[in-house]
């Protein structure tokens, strides 16, 4: 009676021992096989996302169509937003304070467009060539460039939102100081300072403080969120902490603006009968409706950025608490959340643009009111005899009122 061959269940420890035995006999072939397993996701490692940090080929479970759709929507939305900004700038060329806010909004849109155009084509190239960002260059230069671009653009976006929030805060809370000292020139000084500060921070990994690494499926590079080295871990925590502090300041500024807008609305109700007070306020400061429009736009952009960046900050803080495990799927979701901010921002501006809202509202009202108005006019014409229709003659009182108004204006 023959003995059946007993099957042995393969465990991760048996795989490691088998790889160790094969490594002694033929090291190059084993390393190549191990690298291929890493690139296809067949081997899972629990530290630093090691299953994709050095892989040369893109995982097969990637979704290139999602990246292509995100790229198209990002470019289209930012271009439309830039066109709307240019149209509004030409209409309101003499409004200095408003042009300062629009200068910051334009910077934000251009930053989002740069992020889409400088980063997304590399993702599509990786999918088309089946080569990861690390595999595109021997010195990991493409991966480091990708990580630098994502880190730099995210910080610039958040810092620009902070500048917009401070602009609204000073405009509403301290209108006299804002009217005398805050001009369009301040925007031309603030924007380069923001870019320079973010540039210096994002160049630190090239000097040894911090590190950029590749994430699954091999089409993403970003700050190493769970590194071994202490200085790299400190850099990731500083990045997350700075973003969290800026978000807190933006939220505080928005709350301050809302509080002052409520006070402004109450004063407008009290002084509604005073024509002189109302006209003086209209000459010196923004109207209440315009400030509400700016606040709504700023709040929506801030909320979107918080939703997109908060998972990344939480992920970094979880790693800093000593959690050694790494989930590549969670890291991928976090990075995708971070990247979609540049896609949503321009569409929020397009939807909340006052001219677009007025156009949509006018089209809606026209489609619902005009048919009823035309039918009413036709019915009234049909019921009126031809001889009773007389040309319009202005009344004597109307002529006298018009003459008096013109006389007052000339004085």
Position 179 confidence tier, pLDDT thresholds 50, 70, 90: confident
What would the pLDDT profile of 345-367 be if each residue is shown by its tens digit? 777 777 776 666 666 666 666 65
Residue 289: pLDDT over 90: no
Residue 316: pLDDT over 50: yes
Q: Is the pTM of this model over 0.85?
A: no
User: Phi and psi dihedrals of 2, rounded to 5?
Assistant: -75, 150
- Per DSSP, 47 falls in state S
Q: How far apart are CA 171 and CA 178, in angstroms?
A: 6
Residue 238: pLDDT over 80: yes
Nearest to 338 by CA among 202, 147, 105: 147
Average pLDDT along the chain:
70
pLDDT value at position 192?
92
Q: How far apart are CA 411 and CA 407, in angstroms?
A: 6
Neighbouring C-beta atoms of residue 172, cutoff 10 Å: 24
Residue 287: pLDDT over 80: no
Residue 254: pLDDT over 80: yes
Domains along the chain with CATH numbers:
64-269+284-360 (1.20.1070.10)
**All residues at 6 or more sequence positions from 295 whose CB lies less than 8 Å from its CB, including other chains:** 168, 254, 257, 258, 261
Q: How far apart are CA 18 and CA 33, in angstroms?
A: 13
Residue 10: pLDDT over 50: no
Nearest to 210 by CA among 159, 278, 152, 287: 152
What residues form DSSP beta bridges with 213? Answer: 222
Q: How far apart are CA 294 and CA 168, in angstroms?
A: 8
Q: Coil, strand, or helix at residue 213? A: strand
Nearest to 328 by CA among 339, 320, 336: 336
What would the pLDDT profile of 122-171 be if each residue is shown by its tens digit? 888 888 888 888 878 777 888 888 889 888 988 998 898 888 888 888 88
239 touches 64 (CB < 8 A): no
Mean pLDDT, residues 389-393 taken together: 44
- Per DSSP, 4 falls in state P
């Amino acid at each position: 009676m023959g003995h059946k061959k007993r099957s042995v269940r393969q465990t991760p420890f048996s795989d490691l021992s088998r790889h160790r035995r094969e490594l002694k006999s033929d090291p190059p072939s084993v390393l190549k096989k191990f690298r291929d397993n890493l690139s296809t996701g067949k081997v899972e490692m629990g530290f630093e996302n090691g299953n994709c940090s050095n892989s040369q080929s893109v995982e097969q479970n990637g979704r290139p169509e999602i990246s292509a759709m995100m790229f198209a929507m990002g470019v289209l939305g930012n271009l439309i937003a830039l066109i709307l900004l240019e149209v509004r700038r030409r209409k309101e060329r003499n409004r200095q304070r408003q042009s300062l806010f629009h200068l910051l909004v334009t910077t934000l849109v251009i930053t989002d467009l740069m992020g889409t155009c400088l980063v997304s084509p590399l993702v599509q190239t990786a999918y088309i060539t089946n080569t990861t960002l690390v595999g595109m260059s021997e010195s990991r230069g493409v991966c480091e460039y990708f990580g630098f671009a994502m880190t730099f653009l995210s910080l610039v976006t958040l810092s620009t939102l902070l500048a917009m929030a401070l602009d609204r805060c000073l405009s509403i809370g301290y209108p006299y100081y804002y009217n005398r000292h805050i001009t369009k020139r301040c925007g031309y000084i603030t924007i380069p300072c923001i870019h320079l500060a973010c540039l210096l921070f994002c160049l630190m990994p090239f000097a040894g403080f911090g590190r950029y690494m590749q994430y699954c499926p091999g089409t993403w590079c970003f700050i190493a969120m769970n590194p071994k080295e202490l200085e790299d871990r400190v850099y990731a925590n500083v990045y997350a902490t700075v973003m969290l502090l800026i978000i807190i300041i933006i939220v505080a500024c928005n709350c301050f603006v809302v509080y002052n807008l409520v006070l402004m609305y109450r004063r407008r109700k009290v002084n509604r009968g005073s024509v002189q007070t109302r006209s003086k306020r209209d000459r010196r400061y923004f109207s209440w409706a315009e400030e509400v429009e700016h606040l709504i736009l700023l709040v929506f952009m801030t909320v979107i950025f918080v939703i997109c960046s908060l998972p990344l900050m939480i992920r970094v803080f979880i790693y800093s608490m000593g959690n050694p495990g790494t989930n590549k799927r969670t890291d991928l979701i976090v990075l995708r959340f971070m990247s979609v901010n540049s896609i949503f921002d321009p569409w929020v501006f397009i939807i909340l643009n006052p001219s677009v809202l007025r156009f949509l509202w006018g089209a809606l009202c026209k489609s619902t009111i005009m048919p009823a108005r035309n039918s009413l006019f036709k019915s009234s014409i049909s019921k009126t005899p031809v001889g009773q229709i007389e040309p319009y003659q202005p009344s004597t009182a109307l002529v006298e009122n018009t003459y008096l108004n013109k006389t007052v204006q000339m004085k």
